[in-house]
Amino acid sequence: MGEEVWIIDALRSPRGRGRPGAGALSNVHPQELFAQVLKHLASRSGVRIGDVDDVVVGCVSQVNEQGACIARHSVLAAGWPEQVPGVTINRFCGSGLQAVNFGMMGIRSKEQHLVVAGGVESMSRVPIGSDGGGVDGNNPWLRAQVMQVPQGISADLIATLEGFSRTDVDAFAAASQQRAEIAQKIGAFDRSIVPIRDPNDNTVLLERDEHPRAGTTVQTLAKLSPAFAELGSKRLGPHGETVDAIALKRYPSVKQINHVHTAGNSSGIVDGAAAVLLASKEYAEAHGLCPRARILATATLGSEPVIMLSAPSSTSKKALARLGMKPQDIDVWEINEAFAVVPLQVMQTLGLDHAQVNVHGGAIAFGHPLGATGAMLINTALDVLEERDLSTALVTLCIGGGMGIATIIERMS
């Protein structure tokens, strides 16, 4: 099994609306955003920063201000010792959790003893798609073999295949917003969130998540138009096929895609950063570090690339199998709400009770800062386990290109 890996602490920024010049964090350089989380992590944990073997950071759009290895430059921006290295990784929406899992692997192999892992994404300053790669890297040879489609089309196709109606996805989205509203009122994230300040004058810019919309109901969501119907009707195929027709080539039994996802039942565009401090049991005990949890198992898995978003259930099964566990053995589930259909499908496939899933809301309410979300979900899972005196949590995300990622943690202190 290797070295036991402990989660010493986890912190995150609030999520600011990803609107250029309008979101509360939109004027903060993404390096500075992650650097502020690093500073708080060092201060609260009391860890010897010079002992950190690596800082592993998930970031999806690694161009412009998020280019040039944002991990390394955020370390320097935080004023950490020069000997602390950094590396930036991209597994699309799973990047922040993959950073944590890579950190775990380094420690479990005994090559490392102290790792900071997390993610950052400023979607207001570096918009999604800024790297120009499209859905498949613009490779015509790959496209001839696997004609992928935008994620919104995949989400609507999954809903069609699984029989989820517009009412189903809107009901889930309304619950996400309502749970988020309650969570903010009771201070459910107070232990995890650190305030983000203006780097110029040190004034506090944001202390709580900015994206949730209090008072959201199924009735208000029902007024929104489908977000991907127009995209689905565009003719982009090599022979003039519509985007919907391209997707349906893989699923000829489906006659028509039912476009059910809207801006209200899909994840929000936001800015944010998160960091998780990992240590070997040996290092933590030698330096008096008190763990909050341990990582039990991780898994990644590829899935069908046209439908793209369906892997969390099978990836979760893979992680559970490594421990001889069943879905019902997990107390808390954090399933990223890239689109409402993703957690709905996982709950249906694995027989999960919604009362155990995203208990404080998810990305529909709070937003999905791409590279940071996986690490943020580790934060949330820790908060819920401690708040409710529970034991185990499973965090999972769907990933572009047809992949899934999962991590199982167990509360300790």
Which residue numbers are catalytic? Answer: 93, 368, 398
For 229, which DSSP code? H
The whole-angstrom separation of Cα 145 and Cα 44 is: 51
The whole-angstrom separation of Cα 315 and Cα 301 is: 6
Which residues contact residue 393 at a Cβ distance below 8 angstroms, ignoring those fewer than 6 apart? 330, 331, 332, 333, 334, 381, 382, 384, 385, 408, 409, 411
Judged by DSSP in three states, 345 sits in: helix
Nearest in space to 121 (alpha carbons), one of 271, 337, 338, 18: 271
Find how far residue 38's CA is from the centre of its chain. Answer: 18
Tokens found for residue 117: 């892992």
Dihedral angle sign, alpha carbons of residues 304, 308, 310, 312: positive
User: 236-245 — which CB contacts under 8 Å span 24+ positions?
Assistant: 237/147, 238/143, 238/144, 243/149, 243/150, 243/153, 244/153
Pairing of strands 392-399, 270-280: unpaired
The Cα-based distances of 283 to 47, 103, 152 in angstroms read 11, 14, 44
